[in-house]
Amino acid sequence: MQTTETTAAAPSGLILGTGEVRLWGMTAAERLRRTFERAELALVTQPPASGGVVLALGNWVYDEALLATLAKRPNAVLVTDESEAVAAHVPAARAAEVGAALLRGEYPGGLQRLSLAELSYNSDLRKKEPPVLVRLTPENVRAVEARTFAGSYKGVTDLVTKYLWPVPARIVTRWCAVAGVRPNHVTFLGLLLTLAAFALFWKGEFTWGLVCAWIMTFLDTVDGKLARVTLTSSKIGNIFDHGIDLIHPPFWWFAWWVGCQQLGLRPPHPRLAVEVMIAGYVFQRVIEGIFMRRFGFHVHSWRPFDSWFRLITARRNPNLLILTPAWLLGIPELGFYAVVIWTAISLGVHALQFVQAFATPRVRVVSWLSR
């Protein structure tokens, strides 16, 4: 009994084999080491004398969730869809025996199976898909990079991030990974561009302001993907990134309004428009926060309609899709009013979602992606 409790509480991590093929600028073994570290497993080079140990083949690429779950499941073996055993969590006394079986490609007996089907929903990324589990070879590196990059993408997001950025973002993410650029470096550059866009909008220099804004939105996609594919995300980095995302949009739209005044464009009721824009954005985010706290998942993941509406709701990227053509057509002030109107409409939709959720029995408010 004591051994079982120790195994469940604090297993070690042991890499089997070399894993020298490189993925996202690091070897498979280094990626596995980072995965163990993020799962709070102490890496060892030999089976420990006591306790539990998570054994994983060094030439395989594992989704973080797989090994984190395996670490909580003593006497279990992780299997592929083809029933190939690739990792196991066993007592130290069985580590040598089970490790040898995994290296020979044999199925170790006496262990509970852990399959990919049990871990198909990722609540953090708001999507349902099989986790990454693949043997890495020199021939499939690019395919595995594409797969892990796709796995790092949120399933519920805006239409620009979902449809426009994936291909160029994967190219830039790989360049950053190979060059050793850290996610926080990308986020800091994004912060500088955020400030530059604000200053340019304020002065009515909308062309260069939009250039800075669009590059910032692109880098905002890159930094998160870079952190996930290189397993270098952190709480501080997450706060840094999401803090910028949360705060800056209404400042941008207010600066756009000031820029219109600088150009002599003075549409009616400007103060009311600004108040509606700011209040609409703030209340929309408050609704999202309360929903998350109450039900434990994002309002955009509740029902299929909610996920679809996230594509176009009045957030930064959809609003830029309104302002950019408005500037190109020479009507930036009307673009601002269009953002205000769309913000009000989006707030109405979110308010309705909020009321519906709280009028529904709590046990029935679950994400459609987790079903």
pLDDT tens-place string over residues 108-165: 989 999 887 766 555 555 556 678 899 999 999 999 999 999 888 877 899 999 999 9
The reported pLDDT for the residue numbered 119 is 64
Residue 362 lies inside a defined structural domain of this protein:
yes
Residue 150 lies inside a defined structural domain of this protein:
no
> Whole-angstrom Cα distance, residue 157 to residue 29?
32
Same structural domain for residues 363 and 319? yes
Which two three-digit tokens encode residue 331? 């009507």
Which two three-digit tokens encode residue 19? 């894993």
Which two three-digit tokens encode residue 246? 């949360």
Q: Which domain holds residue 226?
A: 157-370
Which two three-digit tokens encode residue 366? 């679950």
Across 341-357, average pLDDT: 97
Query: 37-47, pLDDT tens digit by residue?
Result: 998 899 999 98
Residue 151 lies inside a defined structural domain of this protein:
no
The domain tally of the chain equals: 2
> Whole-angstrom Cα distance, residue 69 to residue 31?
17
Same structural domain for residues 76 and 210? no
Q: Domain ends where: 70, 94, 121?
A: 121
Query: 76-92, pLDDT tens digit by residue?
Result: 999 998 889 999 999 99
> Whole-angstrom Cα distance, residue 297 to residue 60?
31
Query: 278-336, pLDDT tens digit by residue?
Result: 999 999 999 999 999 999 999 999 999 999 999 999 999 999 999 999 999 999 999 99
Across 195-206, average pLDDT: 97
Using CA of residue 245, residue 247, residue 251, residue 253, what is the dihedral sign? positive
Same structural domain for residues 51 and 195? no
Q: Residue 81 to residues 78, 86, 116, 262, 286: CA-CA distances in angstroms?
A: 10, 11, 7, 62, 42
Burial 160-192, CB ≥16 within 10 A → b, else e: bbbebbbeebbebbbebbeeebbbbebbebbbe
Q: Is the pTM of this model over 0.85?
A: yes
Same structural domain for residues 161 and 54? no
Residue 345 lies inside a defined structural domain of this protein:
yes
Residue 161 lies inside a defined structural domain of this protein:
yes
Across 51-74, average pLDDT: 93
pLDDT at 251 over 90: yes
Q: Residue 120 to residues 129, 136, 190, 235: CA-CA distances in angstroms?
A: 5, 21, 32, 24
Confidence class for position 370, pLDDT limits 50, 70, 90: confident
Which two three-digit tokens encode residue 261? 């005044």
> Whole-angstrom Cα distance, residue 181 to residue 99?
35
Q: What percent of the chain has pLDDT over 90?
A: 76
Residue 46, amino acid: Q
Q: Who contacts 17 (Cβ-Cβ below 8 Å, separation ≥6)? A: 29, 57, 58, 59, 103
Question: Exposure of 112 by Cβ count < 10 A (0-12 exposed, 13-18 middle, 19+ buried)?
Answer: exposed
